[in-house]
């Protein structure tokens, strides 16, 4: 028997069913009209932002990384809660503009921006986090052609990484950003050619649960930014410090000690070097803001036994929840937090494996877990589904199509 990961706080049972936003999951499925279904909780989103605001120094703003969850209702709910938005495509830019988000609040990162994407961003006044000298040259040429000075920051590839990071975004050779030693020359060049200078973006890693690692990375980022600002010889309007805060997914994971991270950052911010005295600071967070606010609901459509193993076969699977299936960068597959949503809180009575409907043995949602008895028609909940779920999974695989999504 294998354990499941920790279910996030804030979920309750009503009449023996999982409830989200004060409503039973069966009612939410009825409203959506079908399963599989992603449900995103406004209350969880609000609580997470409030928790961050309370822990971080007031000077440090919050940016939402849209790639974590680009569902239009989620972006719209985040709009009044955060200070800015970080996008990674013109598609995400279009979503933000549809919602009326001020382009001045948006920054655009990514190592392969096409010319049409650069032009669209320049035209509306989005900040480009340039990832190479070649991209900067293309942006400047486009700006000259359309008669508008591009707003430009530089994404830095630092020489250090975030220790314990689930996905390292800095240190050594990377497709992301400009190597730190080449940043001053590039910054001086774009300023000299008429760009509106917007500062630096330094992202070192993601999905880190260690407060010590986060504190060390933030100290290194601030030190590097100050040194680069001095070398550039111009003020640094803004510093995007990246994020990296992780959420518990697996057995044994513990939450980030956010108050400790906030206290250490407050101490650093209170004693910034002169080069950063007037710099706007922000953290870029995606998974940490929205991950625990999402639940994936899928219905049991068959119950079968094979060589003594009981399988609950659902109408969902890896085509919606690639990460939960263990096929999104996980070396050793471990069980995400999950439950029988229609018997939520009931004592386990059997050991089962929960699988999806696809014709591949990779389509697994939970292996050998203890659950209350579930029959055809019961609902399975997979938690921590608010980030890198619907939009980061191969929904076209085998033609089953995307899941429904609602915000409650």
Query: What are the C-alpha distances in Å from 368 to residues 233, 285, 352, 354, 390?
Result: 60, 33, 5, 8, 25
Q: Which residues pair with 366 in a beta bridge?
A: 354
From 157, 181, 179, select the one nearest 169 (Cα to Cα). Answer: 157
User: 3-28: buried (b, 16+ CB within 10 Å) or exposed (e) per residue?
Assistant: ebbbbbeebeeeeebbbbeeebbbeb
Here the tokens at position 296 are 């994936």
3-state secondary structure of 373: coil
Q: Is the pTM of this model over 0.85?
A: yes
Q: What is the rounded distance in angstroms from the CA atom of residue 198 to the CA atom of residue 62?
A: 17
Question: Are 369 and 4 contacting, i.e. CB atoms less than 8 angstroms apart?
Answer: yes
CA–CA separation, 98 vs 119, rounded Å?
18
What is the C-alpha separation between 183 and 228, in angstroms, rounded? 7
DSSP state of 381: E
Architecture of the domain spanning 70-285? Alpha-Beta Barrel (3.20)
Question: What SS3 state is found at 391?
Answer: helix
Cβ(29)–Cβ(50) under 8 Å?
no
The closest of 206, 219, 216, 218 to 288, measured between CA atoms, is 206
Task: Give 12-40+292-407's CATH code, choosing from 3.40.50.300, 2.40.37.10, 1.10.10.10, 3.40.50.1100.
Answer: 2.40.37.10
DSSP state of 166: S
For the chain, the structural domain boundaries read 12-40+292-407, 70-285
3-state class (DSSP) for residue 106: strand
- For position 171, what pLDDT does the model report? 57
Torsion angles phi and psi, residue 389, rounded to 5: -110, -90
State how far the Cα of 398 lies from the Cα of 400, in Å rounded to an integer: 6
CA atoms of 177 and 158, how far apart (whole Å): 9
Residue tagged 């996008």 (tokens): 87
pLDDT of residue 155: 96
Question: Which residues in the chain show pLDDT less than 70?
Answer: 161-174, 331
């Amino acid at each position: 028997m294998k354990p499941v990961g920790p279910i996030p706080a804030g979920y309750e049972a009503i009449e023996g069913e999982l409830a989200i936003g004060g409503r039973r999951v069966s009612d939410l499925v009825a409203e959506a009209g079908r399963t599989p279904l992603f449900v995103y909780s406004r209350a969880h989103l609000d609580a997470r932002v409030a928790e961050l605001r309370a822990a971080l120094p007031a000077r440090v703003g919050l940016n939402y990384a849209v790639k974590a969850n680009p569902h239009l209702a989620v972006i719209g709910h985040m709009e009044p809660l955060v200070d800015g938005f970080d996008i990674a495509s013109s598609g995400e830019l279009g979503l933000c503009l549809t919602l009326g988000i001020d382009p001045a609040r948006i920054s655009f990162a990514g190592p392969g921006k096409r010319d049409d994407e650069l032009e669209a961003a320049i035209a509306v006044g989005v900040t480009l986090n340039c990832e190479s000298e070649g991209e900067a040259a293309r942006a400047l040429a486009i700006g000259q052609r359309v008669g508008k000075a591009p707003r430009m920051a530089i994404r830095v590839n630092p020489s250090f990484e975030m220790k314990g990071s689930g996905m390292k975004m800095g240190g050594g050779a990377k497709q992301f950003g400009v190597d730190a030693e080449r940043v001053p020359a590039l910054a001086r060049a774009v300023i000299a050619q008429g760009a509106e200078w917007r500062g630096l973006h330094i992202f070192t890693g993601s999905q880190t649960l260690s407060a010590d690692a986060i504190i060390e990375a933030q100290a290194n980022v601030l030190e590097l930014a100050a040194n680069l600002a001095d070398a550039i010889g111009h003020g640094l309007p803004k510093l995007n410090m990246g994020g990296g805060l992780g959420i518990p997914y697996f057995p044994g994971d513990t939450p980030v000690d956010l108050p400790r991270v906030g206290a250490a950052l407050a101490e650093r911010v209170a004693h910034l070097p002169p080069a950063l005295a007037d710099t706007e600071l922000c953290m870029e967070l995606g998974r940490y803001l929205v991950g625990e606010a999402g639940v994936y609901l899928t219905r049991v459509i068959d119950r079968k036994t094979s060589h003594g193993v009981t399988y609950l076969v659902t109408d969902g699977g890896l085509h919606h929840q690639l990460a939960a299936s263990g096929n999104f960068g996980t070396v050793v597959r471990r069980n995400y937090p999950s439950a029988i949503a229609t018997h939520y809180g009931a004592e386990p009575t059997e050991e089962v494996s929960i699988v999806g409907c696809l014709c591949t043995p990779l389509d697994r949602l939970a292996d050998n877990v203890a659950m209350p008895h579930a029959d055809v028609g019961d609902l399975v909940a997979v938690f921590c589904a608010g980030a890198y779920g619907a939009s980061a999974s191969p929904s076209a695989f085998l033609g089953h199509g995307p899941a429904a999504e609602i915000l409650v």
